A and B are shown apart, each in its own frame.
Chain A
């Protein structure tokens, strides 16, 4: 409640808006940033409005039009069951992005909480948490994924779980180091001397100062999550057929690569574009917001 008093007081929306506009301008000035932002917006819009952008049901089987090449009826053609590939691509994007965003956000939040606890909490707790982080990090991602999916059966949740498990330690370690530096910063000691609670110090005085770089790092991690989801689905360890996913589309295309190459394009192209988009955007964000880099240029 007290916190609300501080955040509500007073809303300085106009300045925030100006800052956002300014940042956006700087991102767009960089050609790489402009491309990245366009691709990301494209990916998000096509996933969100998948139902509007196509009339086809991505899972409806039409034996009459199997392996149809691209045409005005089927923008990207159809697959071995006659399903419209354009629709499958759009709905596959929904899966890819929700896994990417969900898993990244989840691991970011968990990493932040654990990192703050490790960095600000007592020494023994820090040591235990570090041991756990290092333990979790020492598993090879794919092996871990295979093991977990074999145990739990293939599902979207399993994919998200694997991603979170793999990326939490990385975030947590960075947050922990930054927190360690911050806890002896003079403004934090000043807040303590005024009687601020631990929660308040972490929320108001530490987190806002360390969260920026981590967010940029996370946006650069999105592509690898997209790739993990597609990879696991390709192997049949992710979403279950017939649900459309870029990975399953790729798999379908892979089996029929000799006579209908377009299936591969429907699965591969969005992966490439999304990955590139997020990477470019992340790099530009880093250049724009990292003060040290800015001063060097």
Chain B
């Protein structure tokens, strides 16, 4: 196996236009940066999780990898191929190998198409309709554990769990190497959530898939992700190995996020790090370290200087005063 990772993303920025053309004439900076200088790599067969509050740019990043969102600057290398600047036609074969799963299990299925047509669609789009589509549909249904007679149902006749399985089946139709799963368990009951995650895990083991999973359920992350990254205002504030980050988060934001996780134990005493105030707007990013407005360990330096990247163990983070392993609440010098 080659040493090169399956996916390497370096310093990717995504901008959305905002404001009228008049404000841009007035010389103000145009647009907001929804993804701001993100770099990471993803190996073959690896599961990488993106976590963060809503609006932190997780979904935008996933859509950017798939080419649904244009990259302003930076580079994306997937399976030895540069993706930035590819045309729609050039992107098409890449999309077959890097399918996406969407948040809304039922809403991401075209309402007027039967399950059979939905599952046949990837083959039709990619010019493979000469294959025996009925056989392919049957194969896919079996693969995700759905009964055959479901093929003639329409999306609105499916339960959330069934619709999610159809979504998974569609994603793996063309033997992908990487699945981008945006909140694959959102809106599912806990019992069904386990089934879907087991399914993804099985497929990873059997087909050697890599998975990029976006979720706000940290317990899910701990169960299935090998590595994870925490996003805040479109940046990675910390990334590293899941186990290590859960044991000893180094960025105060990671620590706060991990502590704010409701646990099904009424007697547990929580040492919560409560974050004050609301998430700042992307239009008016704070100076220095962008987390300093909410950080419980902020110092004057944090408001003025942008923190340098730091490496602690396997974790990479940007913080002036990372939390040390010994004293999780106190600040330590970098």
Contact = CB atoms under 8 A, between A and B. Distances in A.
Does A touch B (CB under 8 Å) in the complex?
A: yes
Interface of A: 2-3, 5-6, 9-10, 12, 15, 185-187, 189-197, 200, 204-205, 208-209
A193 B110 contact: no
Interface string B138-171: 0000000000000010000000000000000010
Nearest to B127: A2
Contact of A204 (B63, B93, B110): B110
B103 A186 contact: yes
Given A6-B120, A195-B91, A205 B125 contact: no
Chain B CB count within 10 A is highest, among A12, A194, A209, for A194
A6 B124 contact: yes
Given A193-B99, A204-B110, A208-B112, A9 B152 contact: no
B121 A6 contact: yes
A205 B120 CA distance: 14
Interface string B284-296: 0000000000000
Contacts, number: 81
Contacts of B110: 187, 190-191, 204-205, 209
B54 interface: no
B326 to A, nearest CB: 45
A200 B120 contact: no
A9 B104 CA distance: 27
Contacts of A200: 125
Nearest to B109: A187
Contacts of A192: 68
Contacts of B48: none
A194 B94 CA distance: 9
A190 B108 contact: yes
Contacts of A205: 110
Given A193-B99, A195-B125, A9 B108 contact: no
Given A204-B113, A209-B111, A193 B129 contact: no
B102 A2 contact: no
A187 B118 CA distance: 11
Contact of B95 (A185, A187, A189, A194): A194
B116 A186 contact: no
B134 interface: yes
A190 B93 CA distance: 15
B120 A12 contact: no
B12 to A, nearest CB: 18
A12 B125 contact: no
B95 A193 contact: yes
A10 B134 contact: yes
A118 B113 CA distance: 25
A194 B122 contact: yes
B129 A185 contact: no
A244 to B, nearest CB: 43
A213 to B, nearest CB: 14
7 nearest interchain CB pairs? Answer: A5-B129, A195-B92, A195-B95, A208-B112, A193-B100, A186-B107, A186-B108
A12 B92 CA distance: 30
B102 A186 contact: yes
Contacts of A2: 124-125, 127, 129
Given A186-B108, A190-B109, A195-B95, 17 more contacts: A6-B121, A9-B116, A9-B120, A9-B134, A10-B134, A12-B114, A186-B102, A186-B103, A187-B110, A190-B100, A190-B110, A192-B68, A193-B99, A193-B100, A194-B95, A196-B125, A205-B110
25 contacts: A5-B124, A5-B129, A5-B133, A6-B117, A6-B120, A6-B121, A9-B133, A9-B134, A10-B116, A12-B114, A185-B107, A186-B108, A187-B107, A187-B108, A187-B111, A189-B102, A190-B100, A190-B109, A190-B110, A193-B66, A193-B100, A195-B93, A195-B95, A197-B88, A209-B112
A195 B67 CA distance: 10
B96 interface: yes
Nearest to B94: A195
A209 B111 CA distance: 8
Nearest to A15: B152
A10 B100 CA distance: 26
Contacts of A204: 110, 113
Interface in B300-315: none
Contact of B96 (A190, A191, A195): A195
Given A187-B108, A193-B100, A195-B91, A6 B116 contact: no
A123 to B, nearest CB: 11
Nearest to A8: B129
A203 to B, nearest CB: 11
Interface in B64-108: 66, 68, 88, 91-93, 95-96, 99-100, 102-104, 107-108
A113 B93 CA distance: 29
A204 B117 CA distance: 11
A204 to B, nearest CB: 7
B126 interface: yes
A9 B124 CA distance: 11
A248 B108 CA distance: 55
A5 B131 CA distance: 11
A185 B68 CA distance: 14
A292 to B, nearest CB: 15
Contacts of A196: 121, 125
A34 to B, nearest CB: 29
